[in-house]
Structure 1
Amino acid sequence: MQRRLALASFAALGLSACGFQLRQAPRFGFSALRLAGAGAYVMPALRRELQIYGLRVITTADPKDAPDAVVLRVLLDQRERAVVGQTASGQVRELQLRQRFRFNLQTHDERILIDDTELLLERDLSFNETQVLAKDAEELLLYRDMTADIVQQVVRRIAALDKV
């Protein structure tokens, strides 16, 4: 028993000495962010995530609502589906799912903080026409996971900025 305790404390001491630290909630260099542009897939999830972290998210186009807000402009938010594998008889066997998200971030006076940035995620999906409903559900799950990955990448990029 004491041997396990000593081993556990040695492991904890070793992790603290190497600089290991759990990921903290992001801190932003601004208090308000305006979402601009059209985005049906990533924007709702991004709005929820930013609000969870305590950032005031404005979706109206009126700059009087928050004159000091930085603007995250969504330039592209789309999903793609491409056939990458077929049988000899022409039946689909494999699909590639893609999700693209292009955005930029600028201050209220249009000073660029993050230049146009495109995030592209791809996932492969095997397909079987006898399991169409299950594959549709799997496709939706893969798209939801890609959306969550994109949201986390955008949040980390925004949080990496210094004070605005």
Structure 2
Amino acid sequence: MLAGRRRLVLALPATLMVACGFELRRDSELKIQRIALVGFQGDSPMLAELRRQIGRSQARIVEDLQQAELILESRFDRRDKTVVASTSAGQVREWQLRLRFDFLLRTPGGELLLPRTELRLTREMNYTETAALAKEQEEAALYRAMQSDAVAQVMRHLAAVKLPS
């Protein structure tokens, strides 16, 4: 009897989640078949991540702008960090990491589908010289996380775009 009640109590939350329509977030489904990526620096980590994410969809990346249905144009792509706090001796105690990515979406004919969109992501990171190597790895991980967030936002914009007929 006790085992039956325990199963019922454990099954109840799962049943309620299914009943409320809960569903794990899926990748954005792109309505386009061919996209061109322009304006990026050759070694841009953002470009590499966008290529990877678009490659997971049915869309393919084309080099010829006239073959593309949509052009994602990078206007600004930069990472930087500034000192937020330091000691009286000038030792850094906290950094602010920033990722800035500006882009627009247009057709090969030049019609603007999404005006210049600015993505600004920041993270705070404390710092100590005694753990410099670990903090360097933490910084890289924070930049990767910000980049993943930014690419997810771009993918949602790409999924929502409506091409002219």
Comparing 151-160 and 7-16, the one that deviates more: 7-16
Which structure is higher in RCO with an 8 Å CA cutoff and minimum separation 6?
Answer: 1
One-letter identity of the residue aligned with 2:37: L
Cα contact 1:35–1:73 (8 A) shared by 2: yes
Cα contact 1:41–1:77 (8 A) shared by 2: no
One-letter identity of the residue aligned with 1:101: F
Question: What's the secondary structure of 2:54's corresponding residue?
Answer: helix
Within-5 A mapping of 1:15-164:
15-39=17-41, 40-58=44-62, 60=63, 62-64=64-66, 66=67, 68-162=68-162, 164=164
Structure 1 spans left out of the alignment, 5+ residues: none
Structure 2 spans left out of the alignment, 5+ residues: none
Distance across 2 between alignment mates of 1:157 and 1:52: 16
For each residue in 1:14-60, what CA deviation from the matched residue of structure 2 results, as whole angstroms up to 9, or x when unmatched? 223323222233221211110000241211111111101221012x2
Please give the TM-score of this superposition, normalised by the length of structure 1: 0.88
* Offset, 1:104: 0.6
Q: Which runs of 4+ in 1 moved over 4 A?
A: none
Please give the TM-score of this superposition, normalised by the length of structure 2: 0.87
Matching residue of 1:2: 4
For the aligned residue pairs, the C-alpha RMSD in angstroms reads 1.8
Distance across 1 between alignment mates of 2:107 and 2:30: 14
Cα contact 1:41–1:78 (8 A) shared by 2: no
